Structure 1
């Protein structure tokens, strides 16, 4: 395997992974990763480890991985004849963010920083805290002061220090990035570090395996910072380029109506975010991101897939949470957004998969 290299998608600046700053030094934007995935042998997966590390040919970290908590391989269950749900809330820390957090913690373990910092609205911070605990790394997580007490309690339980930041998600990210500039600090950013995306892409590799070497016609994902969507796009591109799938699914991106800058830009036909998109409070706090740093990449990925953006109002989020609970699935409000969106979306003969990303125990009922 060629050694992975960071590359800035905006200006093509490159940097070695083991000596790079947390962002592009020229534009302060997020990194992509130059990495050539190998073909995963579908017929040989049966005897492999029961975690996302079973797709080792597709991952940029090789060799023994002591940080793992057995993340991945979550169930795929039908909700209707056309829509199935992937139960990523059954991860070790009860959210899909474990897929990327294990990659960041393992990378940090190999780089041996003095400390790890992260920022989050809750789930990513919890996941990073848990995997840093597993790796024996000191960790500080910056969260908005209004974050669910159940989430901050979980972060602290893993031994991480919690920094409560007055203000919104943007203010929290700014505080963490200031800390990340300090020497000896590894910024475990689920937005800026592309290793996180190479973890979330295993969501699609699992679908591909579970469906016998194919993918559904539509993959629906909630989008705030876009980490699951961009990971899904990565996996689809890799599987297609290696000849492991012949058709690419459409990506349907879901936002809360209250905070929907990407949906606004998509339907306006623009390549980037509008200058001043209005926002309002939303139950879907995990995707309430007014200005995601990877906005251009997210918009391009959805357009290239032939997909679209959908938005859901607060009453449909509440109703979707109760509906899933009545089906035996207790999911947090952010995690039900995709099911809320698909309730009225015509699919025809196509099949779709929605992720149930976080457990209801983290937040309670909306």
Structure 2
């Protein structure tokens, strides 16, 4: 890294939606206006800046606003991107269950926990429907930091067990994901809040998935990226990275982001499509538990990211999520129902013609089916395959 580029990274800061700026050393987790914080714009990466000796997301430390020497890492990132024959076309599936705790959350938590550890954190609080809590528990253990995880009582037992195994204190709360978040915010007055939904450093970690796509495709961007969204961190992370690469002249245009959410939890998709989410009536339980977030903290940012790349969003019916789990498993990909929402979204936009056969498309599978054993059992104990077929199996 030359001196000019190094100087650009010397003093990144934070800002809230009102535009007020804060130091990276400020321990706050939200702005004075109550809005989530974001890191100020960073220069994009050039191929020669990649630390090729590092086999983790820290190979991109030149675009991470955390001292690499203070990293808390378990070898996250560098996940495979496997080409698969899907509906007669070649589609790349990014297998995020190769991360240490078997989900994409490890990316953001590694960078977030590195930041917190560098600033002397001794205890942290997280609220999660499963994967985020597992990741925070693991990286807190690696950093020697005590962790408390607040989770919905209905969370998959395997995810709770994983957090307990890492030594985290667990509190289960009755109600939906929003009630869990509200309880965490109440407790954040006495325990430092390391929320993967609120903390700006989490997004800095999630953006590395897009840098990996760029590097794996010979330093070019794909035409399309297909994502499942709960709170939308992968949407915003991809927007950040591809925006940095575009500003640095490393790609010619942003990939289109195609986003799917469970039908009755589709706040981002509905808002993007000009639909009032309240029109769907009472929210129904979904097998895609990790995406059942009614009020995403960064809703405006997620919607704007989809608009910025001329993307699209889809509210996925429950039957199509079941079908996608089956279709993925039939190809050897044992993805949890939450990440299978992305495959159902792929089917939808192939059917509409918005994803063309000749385009390079990457689908992100966020977590492993092994982490949702009860939900996977429900899929394969449910109606027969004929009732659950999708366009991908035709």
TM-score strictly above 0.5: yes
Q: Is 2:304 the counterpart of 1:325?
A: no
Distance in structure 2 (CA, Å) of the matches to 1:125 and 1:216:
31
Give the structure 1 partner of residue 182 of structure 2: 174
Q: 2:141 aligns with which of 133, 137, 155?
A: 133
Q: Is 2:255 the counterpart of 1:249?
A: yes
Indicate if the aligned counterparts of 1:257 and 1:312 stay in contact, CA closer than 8 A: yes
1:49/1:14 CA distance change after superposition, 3 Å:
same
Q: Is 2:362 the counterpart of 1:353?
A: yes
Instruction: Kindly state the Cα deviation for residue 108 of structure 1 after the two structures are TM-superposed.
Output: 1.2
Q: Is 2:214 the counterpart of 1:208?
A: yes
Please report the TM-score for the alignment, with normalisation by the length of structure 1. 0.94
Where 2:273 maps in the other structure, the secondary structure is helix
More helix by share: 2
Distance in structure 2 (CA, Å) of the matches to 1:48 and 1:121:
35
Q: 2:74 aligns with which of 69, 76, 82?
A: 69
Give the structure 2 partner of residue 221 of structure 1: 227
Give the structure 2 partner of residue 13 of structure 1: 20
Indicate if the aligned counterparts of 2:49 and 2:62 stay in contact, CA closer than 8 A: no
Instruction: Kindly state the Cα deviation for residue 227 of structure 1 after the two structures are TM-superposed.
Output: 0.5
Instruction: Kindly state the Cα deviation for residue 158 of structure 1 after the two structures are TM-superposed.
Output: 0.5
Distance in structure 1 (CA, Å) of the matches to 2:51 and 2:11:
28
Give the structure 1 partner of residue 304 of structure 2: 300
Instruction: Kindly state the Cα deviation for residue 162 of structure 1 after the two structures are TM-superposed.
Output: 0.6
Distance in structure 2 (CA, Å) of the matches to 1:137 and 1:49:
25
Distance in structure 1 (CA, Å) of the matches to 2:80 and 2:312:
26
Q: 2:166 aligns with which of 144, 150, 158?
A: 158
Indicate if the aligned counterparts of 2:71 and 2:111 stay in contact, CA closer than 8 A: no
Distance in structure 2 (CA, Å) of the matches to 1:338 and 1:142:
26
Give the structure 1 partner of residue 151 of structure 2: 143
Indicate if the aligned counterparts of 2:58 and 2:68 stay in contact, CA closer than 8 A: no
Unaligned runs of 5+ in 2: 1-8, 380-394
1:90-117 CA-to-partner distances (Å, cap 9, x unmatched) read: 1100000000010111111111124100
Indicate if the aligned counterparts of 1:3 and 1:35 stay in contact, CA closer than 8 A: no
Residues paired across the two proteins, number: 358
Give the structure 1 partner of residue 342 of structure 2: 338
Distance in structure 2 (CA, Å) of the matches to 1:277 and 1:18:
42
Q: 1:109 aligns with which of 117, 120, 126?
A: 117
Unaligned runs of 5+ in 1: none
How do 1:250-329 and structure 2 match up within 5 A?
250-268=256-274, 278=281, 279-329=283-333
Distance in structure 1 (CA, Å) of the matches to 2:279 and 2:25:
37
Distance in structure 2 (CA, Å) of the matches to 1:47 and 1:192:
31
Q: 1:42 aligns with which of 19, 36, 47?
A: 47
Instruction: Kindly state the Cα deviation for residue 124 of structure 1 after the two structures are TM-superposed.
Output: 0.5
Distance in structure 2 (CA, Å) of the matches to 1:275 and 1:283:
20
**RMSD between aligned alpha carbons?**
1.6
Please report the TM-score for the alignment, with normalisation by the length of structure 2. 0.87
Q: 1:60 aligns with which of 57, 62, 65?
A: 65
Farther off after superposition, 274-283 or 85-94: 274-283
Indicate if the aligned counterparts of 1:261 and 1:277 stay in contact, CA closer than 8 A: no
